[in-house]
Structure formats: structure tokens, C-alpha cells
A = this chain, B = another copy of it.
Amino acid sequence: MKSEDIAKIVGVSRSTVSRVINNYPDIPSSTREKVLNAIREYNYYPNSSARRLAGIKNSTLGIFVVDIKDNENPHHVIKNDEALLYDNTFFAPFTNAFIDQANKTHYYVLVSTIYSTSELWKIHSAFHEKRIDGGVVIGSGKEDYKKILQQMKQNFILAAVDIEIESFNENKAIYINTNNHQAAYDTAKYLIELGHRNIGIVTGDLGKLSGKKRFDGFKQALYDYKLHLNDEYIGYGDFTEPSGYVAMKKILQSHNPPTAVFVSNDTMAVGAYTAISESKLKIPDDISIIGFDNIKISGYMSPPLTTVSVSLSDVARTTAELLIQSVEKGTLTPVQKIVNASIVKRESCKSKK
């Protein structure tokens, strides 16, 4: 069944069929109705490739979930396949919310996962082969993002979530970042206001914007409140659960361990909880913990974890909207958007007064 068949059935030309499909105005409603009826009756759907070729947009957006661990420190690598993105509490909510938002506006979405630098071609091929009208990259580090930009033609409609940029003016794209600095600042401030003075941090992957900003915001708060950050109180993690465990272990070996620790994401907080319990310490009586991300597990930990909530679905919706706006317009409108986050108070922090 092609448009010509419909045309014959109704007794008009392909042009006319095409015009009603594309909602051209000057069609008498009687003709329109006849065509529409035939389309319904014969269950006709226009071939999307032919439409694309003839110049109609694809109505497809791409999501590229990058989770490259090429240079990761060996002892952090979890070799088990299952430990890849499958249970990922960061990408899954984003992806789902993005798809929903796109679907609502009648866009399809193509999802690709990228586990190594050598798979970066997937992004370029999707764009260059014209499979998508626009796409979003999420989870990429700075270096990988640069590589992505290299082969990216200027007129491609690209969005980047949670990716650090050198200079906004140089690399045109739609940038969406959560206000990690401010949120981490608030986090430290919260602990300080609870009366804590010896405060530690488990950092995230400092190669990623979120890791760096959370660390910076945290330090800024200590500085503003004239508190010293003891080197012993810093544990370097990489956002994975085992790294949270290791980092917390290290912090607990301080001469005078901190009474509160900001853990840069909830996944690491799970590891940190284990380390703390192995040291026979109690949360929050001996040590207060505040996480970041408000992943689903966090509410079920014991004690339930106080954390920072960034609405990934808000971020996803915003991204989809901005992307679609540019696609409809046919040209990229570069923007930079900061999404706020807030503290979800549960039971892992205690007043020290």
C-alpha cells in the first residue's frame, strides 16, 4: 500500500494524497475526507524513509548514553557485565522521562549506549546518516565530549547534559547542567548548621563536571564558614559503590575522624554505609552522612539517607523541549540551562549541638 494506491482508490493524484497527509490548507474538505477515509480503511501509513528523502523531517531524536571507563583505575572496574548500565539509577530515569516527553510531541527516540571511545562513531553515524534530527549526549566526560564535537557538523542539533564545557561560545550546543555547585554548598552548609565542625567528603569522579562542581561547592562552603578542610577527611571516589567504600575506609582512618561526611552521590553512600558499619560506628549517632542524587535505594537504606534531589525527569523534559524547539525551527539555538536541586532530609544526619 503506497500513496499511489490510495490516490487511485479515491480518484485523485498522489500529489493530492500527499497534501492531505501534510495538512495543506487549500484542500476542499470533501476531498480531504475521502482521502482520509481511504487511508483509514486500507490502513495506509506513509513510508518514513521516502518522506525523509523528500525533505520531511524524521521526527526522531537520539539519546547517547556514554559510560566510558577506558582509563579507569583497575581496582574500581567491576568486570561483571551486569554492572554496566543495566541498573543505572542515573541514566534510566533520564532516558525514560526523555522518551516520554519526546513521544508526547510525536517524536521517536533512538537510544544508543557507548562503553568505549571506539564506539563514539555511533553518535556521528546517527547524525550523518540522518537517522535523527537532533540528539542528546549524557554521561560523557570532558575529553570524550571534545572528541564528539570534533566530527560534529556545526549545523547538527546537539544537547549535552551534565557536561563541562570549556567555552560556551565556542562549542555551540544546548547545555543542561544541574546546579551542583550550589547544591553541594547547601549540603555543607546544612551540616555546619547542624553544628558539625569536622566535616569530610567523599568526592565523585573529578573528571566529570558533577564531581568537580560538587567538590568545589563543598569547599566553598567550608571556606565561607571559616572551616578548615583536613586532608585526611578527603576520600577520592569515582561515583561507584566500591569506590565509596574505599574512600570512607580511608577517611575513618584519620587521627580524629570527622563527625559528618558529604558523599558525592548516593551510590557511593551505599559503600560508605558498609565501611562505617564495619568500623562499628553508628549513623547518625557517631557520624552524619549526606548523599546526592536521591536515588530510589536511598530512602530504604538504614538509616534512610539524607540526600540532594535533582529531578532527573525535569532535566530530561527540559532537554527534550529545548531539543525539539530547535528541531522544529530547523536550526540550533544554543542555550545554557542550570537546573536547581534541593536537600531531602531523612535520618542520616544528626545535630551536633
A47 within 8 A of B: yes
- Chain B residue, CB-CB nearest to A124: B45
* A151 interface contact, C-beta 8 A: yes
Task: Indicate if A19 sits at the interface (CB-CB under 8 A).
Answer: no
Chain A interfacial residues counted at CB < 8 A: 55
Q: Which of A60, A86, A93, A97 has the most CB of B within 10 A?
A: A86
Determine the distance from Cα of A92 to Cα of B96 in the docked complex, in whole angstroms.
Answer: 8
Contact A48 B131 (CB under 8 A): yes
At the interface, yes or no: A197 with Cβ under 8 Å from chain B? no
Indicate if the CB atoms of A130 and B49 lie closer than 8 Å.
yes
Cross-interface CB contact of A108 among B89, B124, B131, B302, cutoff 8 Å: B131
Whether B49 lies near A53 (C-beta < 8 A) is yes
The distance from the CB of A345 to the nearest CB of chain B, in whole angstroms, is: 18
The reply to whether A47 and B297 contact each other, CB–CB distance below 8 Å, is no
Instruction: Give the residue of B81, B110, B300 whose beta carbon is less than 8 angstroms from that of A270.
Output: B300
- A130, B85: Cα distance in complex, Å: 29
Tell me the smallest distance from the CB of A42 to a CB of chain B, in Å: 11
Q: Which of A283-341 contact B (CB under 8 A)?
A: 296-297, 300-302, 311-313
**Is A99 part of the binding interface, using a Cβ–Cβ cutoff of 8 Å?**
yes
Q: Please, what's the 1-or-0 string for A108-138, where 1 marks a CB less than 8 Å from any CB in chain B?
A: 1111110100010010111011110000000
A36 CB to nearest B CB, Å: 15
B82 touches A86 (CB 8 A): no
- Return chain B residues, CB-CB under 8 Å to A43: 128, 151
A positions within 8 Å CB-CB of B: 43-50, 52-53, 58, 60, 81-82, 84-89, 91-93, 95-97, 99-100, 103, 108-113, 115, 119, 122, 124-126, 128-131, 151, 270, 296-297, 300-302, 311-313
Nearest first, the 8 A-B pairs at minimum CB distance are A45-B128, A92-B92, A49-B52, A49-B49, A48-B129, A86-B93, A49-B53, A85-B96
13 A-B residue contacts at CB 8 Å?
Answer: A44-B128, A49-B50, A49-B52, A60-B110, A87-B92, A87-B93, A91-B96, A92-B96, A103-B112, A108-B110, A109-B112, A300-B300, A302-B302
